[in-house]
Amino acid sequence: MLSGRSCPEIYGAITNADNDILVGGNWSQPSSLETIDLTADHREWNDHVGDVLAGGKGNDTYLISTDESETWDWAYLSEFTDQKAHELLSHIDTIDESKGDGVGSIELQVYHEYWDPGEQFQVINVSGSFDYGYSDPDSGAAFYYGSGVQVALFNVTENGDAVPYLFVLTGYPASPVVAIKDFYQGDLGISLEDYDRTRPPEEQNDNLVQDYGTPTHDLLLTNHSEMSWLV
């Protein structure tokens, strides 16, 4: 499922086995995940708008493309506040598996303008174990370090409730490129040291199919006002 600028909130169908590919920007040449070259230029995936990507149930893949300098204003989440968090979320994509099962992966492409031609697109798989680093005493953000990327937990206030967001930071200076809303331990293959918030068990109902949008067999393409399906 892919979104254009006209669709800031994107949902996949929630079924017992629905594997979606989600992108926050545009995709002019759709293909299957197996044929995607993440070292090639995919900056069309980045529409500079804070889209919400929700794949639902199934092994979903989230494709994120970003410029290394795009969020330097929020580097290191320095002096981070709830207001700054909301401002940031209007610029970067948010992955929301709160109505899903947390199964999936994040493939991150970072464009480095000043790297050598042919090597400007860095590919990062955001997964694995992250070691606890420190907690900011002022903001309460907790920072964890992995291979080539770091993450930070921060509670964002939404409708009066504190919702745990996991911000993924990369580049130099380390800057946020994507957020995971309502993060549970193990979501999207991410394991944080000494983090005990686990996903609650689901009610089992093999006949249940919930639809939070248009169901797709493979990809739903949204390019401004045009929509098409691949089956």
Question: Tell me, what's the pLDDT at 208?
Answer: 44
pTM, two decimals, is 0.79
CB 193 within 8 A of CB 130: yes
DSSP state of 58: S
Taking CA atoms, 66 is separated from 5, 137, 156, 166, in Å, by: 16, 29, 22, 17
Q: Give the per-residue pLDDT at 69.
A: 86
Amino acid at 20: D
Residue with tokens 């290394």: 68
**pLDDT score of 181:** 98
Q: CA-based Rg of the chain, rounded to a whole angstrom? A: 17
pLDDT in the model for residue 4:
38
Q: Would you state the pLDDT for residue 46?
A: 76
pLDDT, mean of each 10-residue run, the chain (231 residues): 45 51 68 68 77 88 87 95 97 92 91 84 91 96 94 97 97 94 97 96 52 33 28 24
Cα–Cα dist 8/92, whole Å = 11
Centroid of chain to Cα 184: 14
Q: What is the DSSP string of 118-183?
A: T--EEEEE--EEEEEEEE-TTT--EEEE-SS-EEEEEEEEETTEEEEEEEEEETTTTEEEEEEET-
112 close to 26: Cβ distance less than 8 angstroms: no
pLDDT at site 209: 41
